[in-house]
Chain A
Amino acid sequence: MNVKFRPKILYIEDTPASRQLVSRLLGQDYIVLEAADPLSGIELAQHTNPDLIIVDVNLPGMSGHEVATRLKTLYPETPLVALTADTSPGGRERALIAGCAGYLTKPIDPDTFPEEIAEFLAGRRDDLDESTNEFRAYQAELVERLEMKIRELTDIAARNEYLLEQNRQIIALLQRRQRLLEAAARVSHNITSILDLKQLLDDTVAVICDEFGFYFAGIFLLDPAEEWAELRAGHGEAGEALVDEGFRVPVGFGSMVGVAIEERKARISLDVDEETVYFRHEYLPKTASELVMPLIFKDQVFGALSVQSDIPNAFSDDDSTALQGLADQVAVAINNARLLQDLDAANRELLRTKTFEAIATATGEAIHWVGNKAAPIPASAGRVREDLTHLLAMFQTLLVLPETERTSHPFWNVVQNTFVTAAEQSIDLSANAEKLANLSPNAFVFLGDLESTLEDLQIIEQSARKILNIKEDLIGPARKPRLEELNIAAMLRETISGMGLPAGVIISDFGPDLPLISADARQLDNVFGNLIKNAWEALDGRAAPHIWVRAFPSEPGFIHVEVEDNGPGIPAEIREKIWVSFFTTKGGQGGTGLGLAACMEIIQQSGGKIWVESENGQGAKFIVLLPVIK
Chain B
Amino acid sequence: MQYEHKILLVDDEPLIRRSMQKTLSRLGFEVITADNCIEGLTTFEAAQRSDNPFDLALLDLNIPGFTGQPQEGAGLELLSRLHEKSPNLPVIILTAYDEVHKAKVAISRGAREYFVKGRDEGLVDLMDAILEK
Contact = CB atoms under 8 A, between A and B. Distances in A.
A475 interface: yes
Interface in B3-35: 13, 15-16, 18-20, 22-23, 26
Interface of B: 13, 15-16, 18-20, 22-23, 26, 96-98, 100, 103-104, 107, 113-120, 122
Contacts of A605: 100
A-B interface, 10 closest residue pairs, ranked by CB to CB distance from nearest = A376-B19, A475-B98, A480-B103, A478-B116, A372-B96, A480-B114, A605-B100, A379-B23, A379-B19, A379-B120
A520 B37 CA distance: 32
A481 B96 contact: no
Nearest to B111: A480
7 contacts: A372-B16, A375-B117, A378-B119, A379-B20, A383-B23, A472-B118, A478-B115
B114 A375 contact: no
A375 B119 CA distance: 7
B98 A375 contact: no
Interface string A459-473: 000000000100110
Interface of A: 368-369, 371-373, 375-376, 378-380, 383, 386, 468, 471-472, 475-476, 478-481, 605
B16 A481 contact: no
Contact of A478 (B15, B26, B107, B119): B119
Given A368-B97, A476-B98, A380 B118 contact: no
B107 A480 contact: yes
Given A475-B116, A479-B116, 9 more contacts: A368-B96, A371-B96, A372-B117, A375-B117, A378-B119, A380-B22, A383-B26, A479-B115, A480-B103
Nearest to A471: B118
Contacts of A376: 15-16, 18-20
A315 B90 CA distance: 91
B28 to A, nearest CB: 14
Contacts of B13: 372
B17 to A, nearest CB: 9
B20 to A, nearest CB: 8
Given A472-B118, A480-B114, A383 B22 contact: yes
B100 A481 contact: yes
A10 to B, nearest CB: 120
A262 B23 CA distance: 78
Contacts of B119: 378, 468, 478
Nearest to A469: B118
B103 A375 contact: no
A478 B22 contact: no
A371 B107 CA distance: 24
A478 B19 contact: no
Contacts of B23: 379, 383
A380 B117 contact: no
Nearest to A481: B100
Nearest to A474: B98
Contact of A380 (B19, B113, B115, B116): B19
